[in-house]
Amino acid sequence: MTFLSRNRQPKVLVPALALVSSLALGACVSTPGPVVKGPGLCKADGLAWAVGQPADEANMRKLAAQSGAGLVNPIGPETITTRDLRQDRLRVFIDKNNVITAVRCE
């Protein structure tokens, strides 16, 4: 009489589960928006011109240069943000039509 163990799993199943798990976890990682390096501290004075303008690369670079921000963070309608404050970050709020709705140093 031969007994087979029910706990024995096929050798292919374990690597396949590991691959599927890593792919699923990788899908949870969000990619950061474009980063434009600047000299440091952010100053939002005089950036009101950008509200109503398209959030294209030229306007984002102009905002980075005028604000002095070390990080320009585009925020879309579906973007989840943190409440941490950084003196070197300019957040550019963009609507679903890729139009700038607000710019703030935060």
The C-alpha atoms of residue 43 and residue 51 are separated, in whole angstroms, by 16
Q: State the greatest distance between any 2 C-alpha atoms of the chain, in Å, as a whole number.
A: 87
The C-alpha atoms of residue 46 and residue 104 are separated, in whole angstroms, by 11
- pTM of the prediction? 0.63
Domain span at residue 60 reads 48-105
Each residue's pLDDT tens digit, 4-39: 555 555 555 556 555 555 555 554 445 555 555 555
> Is 90 part of a structural domain of the chain?
yes
Q: What is the CATH number of the domain that holds 82?
A: 3.30.10.10
Q: Which two tokens stand for residue 11?
A: 């050798």
> Is 95 part of a structural domain of the chain?
yes
Cα angle value 14/20/26 (rounded, 5°): 135
- What one-character-per-residue DSSP string does 32-76 give? P------SB----TT-GGGTTSB--HHHHHHHHHHH-BSEEEEE-
Task: Please give the tally of structural domains in the chain.
Answer: 1
Is a pLDDT exceeding 60 seen at residue 96? Answer: yes
Per the model's pLDDT, the better-predicted residue between 34 and 45 turns out to be: 45
Each residue's pLDDT tens digit, 47-82: 999 999 999 999 999 999 999 998 999 999 999 988
> Is 2 part of a structural domain of the chain?
no
> Is 21 part of a structural domain of the chain?
no
pLDDT number for residue 29: 47
Q: Which residues contact 68 (CB under 8 A, 6 or more apart)?
A: 38, 39, 40, 41, 42, 43
Q: 94 has which bridge partners?
A: 100
